[in-house]
Amino acid sequence: MITQNVDRLHFKAGSKPIELHGTTHEIICLNCGELTDRHLFQNRVKKLNPEWARAVEALESGEAGSDANFGMRIRPDGDLDIHERFFRKENFYIPDCKKCNGILKPNVVFFGDNVPKPRVDLCMSLARSADALLVVGSSVMTMSALRLVRAAADMGAPIAILNIGPTRADDLAHLKISARSGEVLPQLLDMGSMSVPSS
């Protein structure tokens, strides 16, 4: 399984996919590549910024949008919506890498970044050797995902797509199901298999 999700949702479900675009659960140093658990990093941020830590605690205790938390709200995707007045504070500190003092960022591939080559090579190898490819819940809009579908198609693997709405790989699909994955996948599991036409 290869996922474009960066939230470790598949891990919570018991799978161990390759995270094509990385994960928000790790922090990476742009200089030395050292990986840090996001929670450990957040603890360092809180220690360096006690006012921020109190604001986060206020948010976690249910005071969304209050003065106690600088107007922060938790968005549906888990990110924080921070009021601009917080950014006027000149005393917010971001930790450096403990190993080399380098700059840290979430271990995700942002738009415009490249997927690390070893990960690309592994995913391309899997796509090229697949007997079939099932795309679930993706519009396949990123080139990194589209390349994988193209690689499987070039090797003659049947492609099935389960997604609401069009995808960038629709022209490669032997089977396209426009429906919610949460409705279709349980039925597929009950059936035990799915036959994908090869032409």
CA distances from 132 to 35, 37, 116, 127, 184 (A): 34, 35, 25, 9, 18
| pLDDT single digits (tens) 150-188 | 999 999 999 999 999 999 999 999 999 999 999 998 888
Give the Cα separation of 108 and 5 in Å (integer): 10
CB environment 19-48: b (16+ within 10 A), e (fewer): bbbbbbbbbbbeeeeeebeeeebeebebee
| pLDDT single digits (tens) 64-118 | 666 666 677 777 766 777 766 666 656 778 899 999 999 999 999 998 899 999 9
Positions annotated as catalytic residues are 21
